[in-house]
């Protein structure tokens, strides 16, 4: 069961970690490439801020973004800003998300995200936590997959295994990590079942498109290419 209040607290903590790390940058390093192809660190910070605004829209019953083009244009517009402006924007937009999340509301209601995707309102704070934690890694400032909180890694692996379940481009996958946890996913494509195992951080990193899975072991077949999230 989703505990939105707990997740809101986790989002606040994760945001502070990210802001503390980003504060050690300077204007030149903000303009340097991030770990996301084609994006600078400024793009990542701008996206984190605009995502907070977008999830406020979701909770308030408005469209998440006016359009995909507007979303991309806003990130490109905000990416070149100096560090102090970026940090202030991330902090202020995060505060806006927290305030919206603390309003009395029916957390069992269904909300709409991008591209017609729907979810329970109670899962929106966790979706925000995913954005903050993984994009902190994407900044390339010393926060690695291995530094992600254990509970977050487990829950994000749960979420991604559910997301890829039955996907038409994936054979049946049996996943397991070095803590003995297991998941099943895929199953929409022909082919023998593949068992994928390894460190929890590498498993979630592969599922989330943050590493190539080189540290993972497979039996029954090669490590499949995952479709875009």
pLDDT of residue 2 exceeding 80: yes
Do 29 and 41 form a contact (C-beta atoms < 8 A)? yes
Q: Note the pLDDT tens digit of each residue in 106-133.
A: 999 999 999 999 999 999 999 999 999 9
Distance between CA atoms of residues 109 and 36, nearest Å? 33
Distance between CA atoms of residues 50 and 94, nearest Å? 9
1 pLDDT band, cuts 50/70/90, is low
Q: Note the pLDDT tens digit of each residue in 161-200.
A: 999 999 999 999 999 999 999 999 999 999 899 999 999 9
Collect all residues with Cβ–Cβ distance below 8 Å to 54 and sequence separation of at least 6: 64, 65, 71
pLDDT of residue 16 exceeding 70: yes
| Overall average pLDDT of the 132-142 stretch | 98
Q: Note the pLDDT tens digit of each residue in 22-46.
A: 999 999 999 999 999 999 999 999 9
Tokens coding 122:
């109670």
| pTM as predicted | 0.96
Q: In what order do the strands lie in the sheet with 217-219?
A: 182-186, 172-177, 194-198, 217-219
Q: What is the pLDDT of residue 33?
A: 98
pLDDT of residue 149 exceeding 70: yes
Q: What is the DSSP string of the chain?
A: ---HHHHHHHHHHHHHHHHHHHTT--HHHHTSB-SSTT-BHHHHHHHHHHHHHHHHHHHTTS-S-S-HHHHHHHHHHHTTS-HHHHHHHHHHHHHHHHHHHTS---TTSEEE-GGG-EEEGGGHHHHHHHHHHHHHHHTTSS--GGGS-HHHHHHHHHHHHHHHTT-TT--EEEEEETTS-EEEEE-SS-S--EEEEE-HHHHHHHHTTSS--TT-EEESSPPPPPPP-
Q: What is the pLDDT of residue 121?
A: 98
Q: Note the pLDDT tens digit of each residue in 74-95.
A: 999 999 999 999 999 999 999 9
Distances (CA, A) of 4 to 14, 99, 111, 127, 158: 15, 13, 14, 10, 17
């Amino acid at each position: 069961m989703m505990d939105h209040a707990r997740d809101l607290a986790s989002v606040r903590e994760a945001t502070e970690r990210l802001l503390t790390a980003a504060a050690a940058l300077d204007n030149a390093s903000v303009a340097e490439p991030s770990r996301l192809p084609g994006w600078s660190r400024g793009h990542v910070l701008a996206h984190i801020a605009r995502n907070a605004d977008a999830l406020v829209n979701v909770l308030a019953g408005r469209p998440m973004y006016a359009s995909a083009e507007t979303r991309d244009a806003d990130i490109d517009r905000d990416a070149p800003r100096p560090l102090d402006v970026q940090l202030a924007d991330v902090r202020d937009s995060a505060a806006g998300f927290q305030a919206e999340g603390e309003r009395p509301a029916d957390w069992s209601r269904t909300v709409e995200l991008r591209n017609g995707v729907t979810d329970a309102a109670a899962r929106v704070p966790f979706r925000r936590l995913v954005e903050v934690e993984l994009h902190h890694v994407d900044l390339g400032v010393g926060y690695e997959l291995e530094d992600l909180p254990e509970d977050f890694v487990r829950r994000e692996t749960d979420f991604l295994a559910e997301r890829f379940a039955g996907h038409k481009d994936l054979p049946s996958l049996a996943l397991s990590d070095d803590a003995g946890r297991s998941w099943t996913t895929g199953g929409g494509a022909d082919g023998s079942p593949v068992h994928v195992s390894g460190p929890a951080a590498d498993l979630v990193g592969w599922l989330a498109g943050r590493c190539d899975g080189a540290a993972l072991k497979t039996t029954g077949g090669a490590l499949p290419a995952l479709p875009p999230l």
